[in-house]
Amino acid sequence: LIFALPRFHRYRKKILIATAAVAISPLFLQVFGLFFEAGSDVPLVAQRLGDRESISSSNNFRKLAIGVAFDMIEAHPVAGLGADNFGMEFNEYRRRYATEHPDDPVLTEAEDTLPERAHNEYLQIFSELGIVGGGIAMWFVAGLGIMAFRAIRNLGQRSLFGPSAVLGVALFCISSLVSSF
């Protein structure tokens, strides 16, 4: 919008500087990785991004956690398992999931660890707190949606700080689909 709408031309230089900073900042990680990594020509960051086995394992565990979380929600739909009990109950529901889906290849993921999180904030909320907690969380997300609507509606009347803040919160909500803290 800054480059498309003339009324925001005063922000163009600032957005170019911010974009350049974001684009250049990973280069510093690469440079430091070259100096501090022992015995390899490839920086550590590049090794982690290129590790297909680790990425595949992570994605498979996410699939397993999603399946187990749906079983938890099905077993305790109203009040859930209790706050912060996802990790405590994971292995029990993993056994149930394994009996219902014995041929699922993701069952072998993370067998040697006790998973603490669902890697999906919304599924974790619904599995731990049920419909009651999920409803409260969705009420919060609906409030964010209303804020976003108002920020977009008032875009021409105010600065870009409101829409930028809403965009940041929206991106956090989207990232919560693949992470949980």
**In this predicted model, what pLDDT tens digit does every residue of 121-174 receive, in sequence order?**
999 999 999 999 999 999 999 998 898 888 877 776 667 777 788 888 888 889
What is the average per-residue pLDDT within 107-120?
Answer: 78
The Cα 140–Cα 128 span in angstroms is 17
- Model-wide pTM > 0.85: no
- The answer to whether residue 28 scores a pLDDT higher than 80 is no
**How many helices and strands in the chain, by DSSP H and E?**
6, 0
Please name the amino acid found at residue 53: E
- In whole angstroms, what is the distance from residue 62 CA to residue 118 CA? 7
pLDDT higher than threshold 60 for residue 39: no
Of residues 103 and 112, more confidence is placed in 103
Supply the pLDDT for residue 57.
Answer: 74
Query: Around 90, how many Cα atoms within 13 Å sit in the side-chain half-sphere?
Result: 22
User: Could you read off the pLDDT of 42-91 as tens digits, one per residue?
Assistant: 555 556 655 666 667 778 888 888 889 999 999 999 999 998 888 889 88
At 139 the pLDDT is 95
| Local confidence band at 115 (pLDDT 50, 70, 90 cut-offs) | confident
d(CA 173, CA 178): 10
Residues 6+ apart with CB under 8 A from 69: 86, 118, 120, 123, 124, 126, 127
pLDDT the model gives residue 127? 93
Would you say 47 and 30 are in contact if contact means Cβ atoms under 8 Å apart? no
Query: Is residue 26 over pLDDT 60?
Result: yes
CB 179 within 8 A of CB 121: yes
